[in-house]
A and B are shown apart, each in its own frame.
Chain A
Amino acid sequence: DTEVTQTPKHLVMGMTNKKSLKCEQHMGHRAMYWYKQKAKKPPELMFVYSYEKLSINESVPSRFSPECPNSSLLNLHLHALQPEDSALYLCASSQVIAGVSNTGELFFGEGSRLTVL
């Protein structure tokens, strides 16, 4: 069982809807990540938060808006999405070592399967 919890597991939304994906971890990790994964493809990094501050944004469209309200929570706010945004959205966390995130093991949640109609 993963120690990173993602909700909801499945989400279907229309292109005009506003919804949010949520992620929670209680391992004391200070780096948290959002990845997007299409079928039969590797995960693609979207955002990295380090000490609750956005440290990496991989040129993600503004219809995806991340938020890190505290060290345990990570949200991804969705608005005006397109059908091609349908994918598995994975949250992950890791320790921050020497001020650099992602040097070691990533702990992933089970993902939120998003379908945009």
Chain B
Amino acid sequence: SQQGEEDPQALSIQEGENATMNCSYKTSINNLQWYRQNSGRGLVHLILIRSNEREKHSGRLRVTLDTSKKSSSLLITASRAADTASYFCANRSGSARQLTFGSGTQLTVLP
């Protein structure tokens, strides 16, 4: 399976704290993306980082990519209760024609 692994599987934090989620993948990639999914809803694209980039920011989101370790991390700063959701990384390797999603992290932000 090309599916990546994410850790932790579940993360519970207080509002205002930072949340860090990690993603590992198995093959070389063109880009890596992060998606959020509220319970029972569709996925929403958060951010894309290309294989030649090491860090990217978008609002309260910071994504890093380490291609030598085949890993990425998503940092959400100053978390809010509305950030409660599942977060998935997804990547497309060079010859693949589709995204492969990681196993996901369930984030709970307590008010």
Contacts from A to B (Cβ < 8 Å): 2, 4, 6, 33, 40-43, 45, 48, 55-56, 88, 90, 92, 100-111, 113
The answer on a CB contact under 8 Å between B97 and A113 is no
**Of A4, A55, A88, A103, which one neighbours B92 at CB under 8 angstroms?**
A103
Q: Are B40 and A113 in contact (CB under 8 A)?
A: yes
CA–CA, A6 and B43, complex, Å = 13
| Known contacts A42-B103, A105-B33, A90 near B43 by CB under 8 Å | yes
Of the residues B35, B45, B88, B92, contact of A102 by C-beta under 8 Å: B92
B68-111 vs A, CB cutoff 8 Å, 1 = contact: the mask equals: 00000000000000000000101010000111011110100000
Once A42-B88, A42-B104, A43-B101 are accepted as A-B contacts, the answer to whether A105 and B48 lie under 8 Å apart by CB is yes
Chain B contact patch, size range: 20 to 34
A111, B41: Cβ atoms closer than 8 Å: yes
Rounded to whole Å, the gap between the CB of B38 and the closest CB of chain A is 10
Residues 27-45 of B, flagged 1 when their CB comes within 8 A of A and 0 if not, give: 0001101010000111111
A-B contact pairs, 26 of them (CB 8 A): A4-B42, A40-B104, A42-B88, A42-B104, A43-B101, A45-B99, A48-B97, A55-B97, A88-B40, A101-B98, A102-B97, A102-B99, A103-B31, A103-B92, A104-B48, A106-B33, A106-B35, A106-B45, A106-B99, A108-B35, A108-B43, A108-B44, A109-B42, A111-B40, A111-B42, A113-B40
